[in-house]
């Protein structure tokens, strides 16, 4: 096995994207993603069984497309990598079964890795020399997770500082979009609706930001109260027979989400003396989040890193990249006996 610049194929199926990525060391060769998002639209959110069925259907075409894009032969691979968790268990299992069989068919080692740490691993593909500067704080925000990590070393030392105690931020966007009568997925819909709206028009609550919360939930998030506050506000308007100022509601809601995400991330950086913040996850597509993060990190003297969007949303390249880093650091492959772990903690960077 080439440990200096391993050629790795990564399989990611933790939520609704079937991702196959191929990397050589820290260089990206292919990043193919098939999404079942459209199939979930009429249900207003990701339906686990629909996602899992879609993974099985997308597996072969996505794998074939990634190989063609990378222009490599499977026989050249040094290893296969797969997301073991966290995520939707039925969805994860499709990837785990596929990865094991692929590895055995090729006689190649298999690396089972952590999805959240994979999001951090995406950053090596975006760097000149394939290194991440340590320590770094990582804010990972999607429809499935909202987590704040302290990364001292990608392959050996990742700590969970906090996470959402109820809805993921992406889910909050979906639910508020529904309140406003907008379709799924909510993120881009809220963004569109917020154009021209006043983000300060309505002061929606910032979850877990009161002094009493800050003791127990310093770096945790909560979006369920915010969603309820938006619903109450909208219902009061409707009950009074007044028009709902959708642009103002959308802008003010988005501001509340962005404010709490960025505030806690920047607070973690300053309090822990970490001068770097990395963003990851599909919600990073939100322009207002990137803008506020850029402003506040700049004024706090924190370096902000945002990988290209294709590497922020769930993808196989980040899984391959993390495995490549593990291989280069001398880590041995996983056994063939691991399973899907829907609640895999971030401290388990690789599953054996």
Partner 1 sequence: MLLAIDTSAGSSVAVVTLGGEVLAERSSDDPMRHAEVIGTLIAGCLDDAGIEVAALTGLVAGMGPGPFTGLRIGIAAARSFGIGAGLPVHPVVSHDAIALDAYRSGSAAPDATLLVVTDARRRERYWTSYAGLDAAGLPVRVQGPALAKPDDLPTSESVRLDALVVPAGALGQVAAALLATDGAFAGEEPLYLRSPDVTMSAGAKRVTA
Provide φ and ψ at 94, rounded to 5°: -65, -45
SS3 209: coil
Binding of partner 1 by 347 (CB under 8 A): no
Binding of Zn ion by 314 (CB under 5 A): yes
Contacts to Zn ion from residues 191-250, by CB under 5 A: none
Burial class of residue 22, CB neighbours in 10 A (0-12, 13-18, 19+)? buried
Residue among 2, 27, 44, 348 that touches partner 1 (CB under 8 A):
44
Binding of partner 1 by 290 (CB under 8 A): no
Binding of partner 1 by 110 (CB under 8 A): yes
CA distance 140 to 97: 26
SS3 313: coil
Binding-site members for Fe cation are 115, 119, 314
Residue among 15, 63, 266, 269 that touches partner 1 (CB under 8 A):
63
Contacts to Zn ion from residues 117-146, by CB under 5 A: 142
SS3 188: helix
Q: How many residues bind Zn ion (CB under 5 A)?
A: 2
Burial class of residue 175, CB neighbours in 10 A (0-12, 13-18, 19+)? buried
- Minimum CB distance to Zn ion smaller for 5 or for 348: 348
Binding-site members are 115, 119, 140-144, 174, 187, 191, 286, 314
Question: Is the torsion defined by CA of 31, 36, 41, 46 positive or negative?
Answer: negative
Choose from partner 1, Zn ion, none: what does 93 bind? Cβ within 5-8 Å by kind.
partner 1
Residue 181 CB neighbour total at 10 angstroms: 11
Provide φ and ψ at 149, rounded to 5°: -115, 150
Query: Applying CB under 5 A, which part among 25-33, 46-54, 173-181, 306-314 lies near Zn ion?
Result: 306-314
Shortest CB 254 distance to partner 1, Å: 17
Binding of partner 1 by 131 (CB under 8 A): no
Burial class of residue 298, CB neighbours in 10 A (0-12, 13-18, 19+)? exposed
Choose from Zn ion, partner 1, none: what does 314 bind? Cβ within 5-8 Å by kind.
Zn ion
Shortest CB 95 distance to partner 1, Å: 8
SS3 294: helix
Binding site for partner 1 (CB under 8 A): 42-45, 47, 49-50, 52-53, 55-56, 59-60, 63-64, 74, 89-90, 92-107, 110, 175, 178-179, 181, 184, 228, 231-232, 235-236, 239, 336-340
């Amino acid at each position: 096995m080439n440990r200096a610049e391993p050629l790795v194929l990564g399989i990611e199926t933790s939520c609704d994207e079937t991702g196959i990525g191929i990397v050589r060391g820290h260089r990206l060769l292919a990043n193919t993603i098939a999404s079942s998002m459209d199939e979930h639209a009429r249900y207003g959110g990701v339906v686990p069984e629909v996602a899992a069925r879609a993974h099985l259907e997308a597996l072969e075409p996505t794998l074939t497309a990634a190989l063609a894009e990378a222009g490599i032969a499977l026989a050249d691979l040094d290893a296969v990598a797969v997301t073991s968790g966290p995520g939707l268990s039925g969805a994860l299992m499709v990837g785990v079964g596929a990865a094991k069989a692929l590895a055995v068919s090729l006689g190649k080692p298999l690396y089972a890795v952590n999805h959240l740490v994979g999001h951090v691993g995406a950053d090596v593909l975006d760097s000149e020399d394939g290194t991440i500067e340590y320590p770094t704080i990582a804010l990972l925000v999607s429809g499935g997770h909202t987590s704040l990590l302290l990364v001292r070393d990608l392959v050996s030392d990742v700590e969970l500082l906090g996470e959402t105690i109820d809805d993921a931020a992406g889910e909050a966007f979906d639910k508020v979009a529904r309140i406003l009568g907008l379709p799924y997925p909510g993120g881009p819909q809220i963004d569109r609706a917020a154009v021209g709206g006043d983000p300060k028009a309505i002061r929606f609550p910032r979850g877990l930001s009161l002094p009493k919360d800050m003791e127990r939930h310093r770096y945790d998030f909560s979006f369920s109260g915010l969603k309820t506050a938006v619903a109450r506000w909208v219902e009061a308007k409707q009950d009074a027979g007044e028009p709902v100022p959708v642009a103002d509601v959308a802008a003010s809601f988005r501001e509340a989400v962005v404010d709490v995400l960025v505030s806690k991330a920047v607070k973690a950086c300053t309090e822990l003396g970490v001068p770097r913040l990395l963003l990851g996850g599909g919600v990073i597509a939100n322009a207002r989040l990137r803008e506020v993060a850029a402003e506040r990190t700049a004024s706090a003297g924190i370096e902000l890193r945002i990988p290209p969007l294709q590497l922020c949303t769930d993808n196989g390249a980040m899984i391959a990249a993390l495995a490549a880093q593990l291989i280069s650091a001398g880590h041995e492959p996983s056994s063939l006996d691991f399973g899907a772990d829907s609640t895999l903690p971030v401290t388990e960077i690789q599953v054996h």
